[in-house]
């Protein structure tokens, strides 16, 4: 039996403990063999990052260092065109084969906007979607009334409460998994730095050292 692989895509501008704890708890809670962190180069549907691709990659590398479950995947970060998740998953499928279960992780905020993603319906043919609860974001079930009808239909059809379903099938389920609520965002960290405050204890020391050594996020307004 092969264990599912988790995928956490993000802007990681910078990587913080919200990302790391989410990945750790989902990896253990769902018995995954690995979590791949995939920093986006040009993330679609948001303002462009403040730190460069190389800097965000480096911060992600420092942040995950020492965790044998975590790995870094550089396939998106230097792309000159927007990084659509469907294309990344198609590539991963080609490399890993049709028999590997894949779990795409996302925070609840990301799931609520899923219907705006490029070719989003195809994501279910390629991976399961695992939604982690995020502080300040309504639970998926509570927010159901605000979901576009077509996403609500998919949720009703695909929702499972059984982690085993992620092993028995290779893609197509939606699982909502609780994670320790850490109300940390990269936006908050950038704001603290811009205001001259320390974001220490919101992110790994090695990432903060890198930010300070390279003078990142000093002259922006944090948004
Ligand atoms: N504290 C958190 N708890 C749960 N999920 C999180 C948390 N922070 C980020 N995520 C999830 O991690 C993924 C990547 O997030 P991203 O890199 O955009 O970080 P962010 O903190 O949301 O950044 P920003 O504040 O710049 O928007 C998204 O799916 C997001 O929902
Ligand atoms: O494929 C899409 O259309 C799409 C739209 C929005 C976000 N994403 C991906 O979702 C991940 C988290 O995005 P973000 O903006 O919260 O950092 C990141 O890997 C993005 O590439 C993907």
Kindly report, residue by residue over 84-121, the tens digit of the pLDDT.
999 999 999 999 999 999 999 999 889 999 999 999 99
Testing ligand 2's pocket by substitution, the residue of 36, 43, 116 carrying the most ligand atoms inside 8 A of its CB is 43
Residue 164 C-alpha to ligand 2 middle, in angstroms?
26
Ranges assigned E (strand) in the chain: 5-10, 34-39, 70-72, 102-107, 128-132, 159-160, 174-177
Residue 22 C-alpha to ligand 1 middle, in angstroms?
10
Instruction: Copy the structure tokens of residue 92.
Output: 């991963």
- Cβ–ligand 1 distance for 185 under 6 Å, the answer yes
CA separation, residue 219 to residues 103, 124, 187, 194, 205 (Å): 37, 40, 14, 6, 21
What mean pLDDT is predicted for residues 218-223? 65
Q: How many residues does the chain have?
A: 223
Where in the chain are the domains?
A: 5-182
48 has a pLDDT exceeding 50? yes
Q: Residue with the nearest Cα to atom 4 of ligand 1? A: 134
Residue 12 C-alpha to ligand 1 middle, in angstroms?
8
Angle at 82 between CA 222 and CA 185, to 5 degrees: 30
CA distance 204 to 217: 16
ipTM exceeding the 0.95 mark: yes
- Cβ–ligand 2 distance for 11 under 6 Å, the answer yes
- Report whether 200 contacts 206 (CB < 8 A): no
What mean pLDDT is predicted for residues 167-195? 95
222 has a pLDDT exceeding 60? no
What mean pLDDT is predicted for residues 46-75? 97
Beta strands 34-39 and 128-132 are unpaired
- Report whether 123 contacts 117 (CB < 8 A): yes
The helix/strand/coil state of 146 is helix
CA separation, residue 148 to residues 112, 116, 143, 154, 196 (Å): 9, 10, 11, 10, 41
Kindly report, residue by residue over 145-162, the tens digit of the pLDDT.
889 999 999 999 999 999
Question: What is the DSSP code (8-state) at residue 120?
Answer: G
Fold that domain 5-182 belongs to in CATH = Rossmann fold (3.40.50)
């Amino acid at each position: 039996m092969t264990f599912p692989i988790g995928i956490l895509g993000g802007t990681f501008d910078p990587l913080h403990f919200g990302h790391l704890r989410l990945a750790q708890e989902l990896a253990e809670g769902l018995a995954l063999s690995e979590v791949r962190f995939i920093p986006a180069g040009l993330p679609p549907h948001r303002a462009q990052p403040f730190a460069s691709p190389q800097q965000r990659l480096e911060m992600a590398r420092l942040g995950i260092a020492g965790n044998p479950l975590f790995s870094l995947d550089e396939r998106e970060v230097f792309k000159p065109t927007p990084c659509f998740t469907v294309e990344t998953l198609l590539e991963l499928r080609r490399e890993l084969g049709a028999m590997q279960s894949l779990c795409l992780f996302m925070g609840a905020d990301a799931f609520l906007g899923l219907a705006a993603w490029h070719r989003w319906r195809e994501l279910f043919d390629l991976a399961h979607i695992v939604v982690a609860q995020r502080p300040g974001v309504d639970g998926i079930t509570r927010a159901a009334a605000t979901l576009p009808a077509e996403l609500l239909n998919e949720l009703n059809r695909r929702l499972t409460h059984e982690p085993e379903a992620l092993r028995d099938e290779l893609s197509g389920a939606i699982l909502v998994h609780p994670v320790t609520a850490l109300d940390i965002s990269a936006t908050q960290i950038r704001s603290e730095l811009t205001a001259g405050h320390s974001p220490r204890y919101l992110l790994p020391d090695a990432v903060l050292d890198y930010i300070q050594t390279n003078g990142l996020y000093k002259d922006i307004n944090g948004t």
